[in-house]
Amino acid sequence: MNFRSGALPGPVLRSGMPTPDLTPEAFARARAFLEEKGRPLDMARFRHAFEGAVVTEVLDALRAYQNEDGGFGRALEPDCRAPDSSGLATMMALRVLHALDVPADEPLLTETVGWLHAHLHTDLDGSVWPFLPPQAEAHPHAPWWNQGEDGELARTFGGFRVNPRAEIVGRLWHWPELLPGSLIAQLTIETRDALLAGLEDGDVNGHAAAAVFAGALDIADDHRRPVLEYLADVLPGRVQATPDEFARHGLNPLMVASTPEHPLAHALEESLSAALLHLIASQAEDGSWGPDWNWFGQFPQDWPTAEAEWRSALTLDALLALRAWGRLAE
């Protein structure tokens, strides 16, 4: 089976030599890993993306993480093990639904958007989605999700003005009819202004969320383009570009432009080429790709489960990115 997209030119190294492709044998090892050790959701997404399986298999697997209130929890984002619905897990569900390009009348989508609409927090500074409810603190989680002190999580994530709002708003624009027009317009302006106020250099996921907003072509240019221009200016100096950088957690350019169609891909051409080369070279012997972070000893009995689930999700992400960039060998 031909998994390579011949329409996409392969990236080149600075030497001018093409980057290698992921071999069929390496692809088969990744598939075997997902089949034997992956989450059902990730295997269903793999089968849909690469083998033509029906989309309902993915939707059924995603529903396993949904709660009765329409939101998502149940460790859909493996670094938070709380079962309760949260902005974090519901954002992850929206990410899957966006990738599937489901129609606006898909019930799982309307339930997701309904939960987001109902759980939008509004104050004098605007409207945001907090990442987690307070009760998530009682369940195993990564240190950055700590909220033992009042307001701790909001302080960690800048009041949620950029992350997760920029990603959620960017994806919701794929189905703007699902929210009142005045609300999505307000959210878009507030998100634009928060992004143009500037992102801290080390805010890895904030830049990734901003890139989702900048890449949402349904957003009017007078809101989206200033953000795109800002990111095109700052990102070349902030994304990882060398093997040493790729070996530790940081802003990998593939987090910004996972496909060549993203409007920031051209500004990051050299770093993306290096990132793809590293991605191919960093596949583990068992066929997987793993996280470049850990919980630093917090909830040590639960981190292995989270690590295994991340390994499943990241293996799928790697294969999808390599296919999008034309780096899967025939």
pLDDT for the residue numbered 13: 43
CB 73 within 8 A of CB 67: yes
How far apart are alpha carbons 153 and 149 in whole angstroms?
Answer: 8
**In the predicted structure, residue 116 carries a pLDDT above the cut 50:** yes
Q: C-alpha 268: how far from its chain's center?
A: 18
Bridge partners of 18? 12
In a domain, 214, yes or no: no
How far apart are alpha carbons 3 and 330 in whole angstroms?
Answer: 6
In a domain, 310, yes or no: yes
In a domain, 97, yes or no: no
* Mean pLDDT for all residues in the chain: 94
The H or E element that residue 60 is part of is helix 55-63
Q: How many other CB atoms are found less than 10 A from the CB of residue 202?
A: 10
| Maximum pairwise Cα distance, the chain | 56
**In the predicted structure, residue 18 carries a pLDDT above the cut 90:** no
Counted domains in the chain: 1
Amino acid code (one letter) for 206 = G
Q: Assign 106 to helix, strand or coil.
A: coil
The H or E element that residue 214 is part of is helix 204-214
In a domain, 12, yes or no: yes
pLDDT for the residue numbered 330: 84
In a domain, 118, yes or no: no
The H or E element that residue 126 is part of is strand 126-128
Average pLDDT, stretch 267-286? 98
**Per-residue model confidence as pLDDT tens digits over 196-251:** 999 999 999 999 999 999 999 999 999 999 999 999 999 999 999 999 999 999 99
In a domain, 125, yes or no: no
How far apart are alpha carbons 77 and 144 in whole angstroms?
Answer: 13
pLDDT for the residue numbered 2: 30
In a domain, 229, yes or no: no
In a domain, 155, yes or no: no
**Per-residue model confidence as pLDDT tens digits over 122-164:** 999 999 999 999 999 999 999 999 999 999 999 999 999 999 9
**In the predicted structure, residue 4 carries a pLDDT above the cut 50:** no
Q: Assign 80 to helix, strand or coil.
A: strand
Q: Output the CA torsion sign for 245, 145, 307, 119.
A: negative
CB 135 within 8 A of CB 83: no
**In the predicted structure, residue 7 carries a pLDDT above the cut 50:** no
Q: Which residue segment(s) compose the domain that 23 sits in?
A: 1-37+260-330
* 128 or 8: which leads in pLDDT: 128
